[in-house]
Structure formats: structure tokens, C-alpha cells
Amino acid sequence: MREAADVMGRRAGKKIKVVAVPSAVARAAGAVAGRFMPLIKDLAAMFRWFETGRYVADPRRQEQLFGPVPTAEEALARFTDELRTHSNGDGPASHPSPPGGLTRTPRTSRCDQVQAPTP
């Protein structure tokens, strides 16, 4: 997570602070929010699957359909640019927070914060 924050921070010209959230807290919050927001419930199920270790990324089909698969750095740079493009300049981006529990604080703060569950 720290590496992702560093890549995005360099691209955005900002310092991004990473805050660890214990996985039990993230799971509990997801269980409550998931009752009202189906997306949260689906994300929680996805993360449980990732934690099993059975998920293995195989980008060969993606490459066949869409061309070369971007590196992690390229994907983060594109995502950072999209956040900047969709932002109105006075606050967080005008679209919902990105997946995985990542959140952004208003631009008036000294740094953006990225929060992610800890294992």
C-alpha cells in the first residue's frame, strides 16, 4: 500500500499518508455498510476470496482483447490522473471512492489519506 501511495503521490504532486486499519475493524464496518450498500458486500466477498490465496491473476486473455497489460505503476498513474480530472478543485473527486476501502480527504487538508485494511 505504501508503494502505491508513493506512486500516486509523485504523480499528483502530493504527500499521501497511509493509515492501517485492522482487518477486523474493516470487516465489521463492511458488514454493517454491506446491509445498505450491495457494492460494499460484494467488495467484502472479493477481499475474503483474495485472502484465501486461491486467486491468481492471469492477464493473457486481457492482453489478447485489450492490448498490452499496464504495469502497476501505469495503472496507478492513470487512476491518479482520472481522480485529478474528475475533481472540482474544492474537494474529493465527484465520483464515488475507489474500491478497496480507499478514501480521499478534502483538498484543503495538508495531505490526502489512503486507508486500507491490514491483514
Cα dihedral 33, 119, 21, 41, rounded to 10, equals -10
What angle in degrees, to the nearest 10, is found between the helix axes of 2-12 and 72-86?
50
What are 49-70's pLDDT values in tens digits?
Answer: 888 988 888 888 889 999 998 8
Identify whether the C-beta of residue 24 lies closer than 8 Å to the C-beta of residue 99.
no
What are 10-33's pLDDT values in tens digits?
Answer: 888 888 898 988 888 888 888 898
Q: What is the C-alpha separation between 99 and 114, in angstroms, rounded?
A: 11
Q: What is the C-alpha separation between 18 and 116, in angstroms, rounded?
A: 8
What are 98-119's pLDDT values in tens digits?
Answer: 444 444 444 433 344 445 555 5
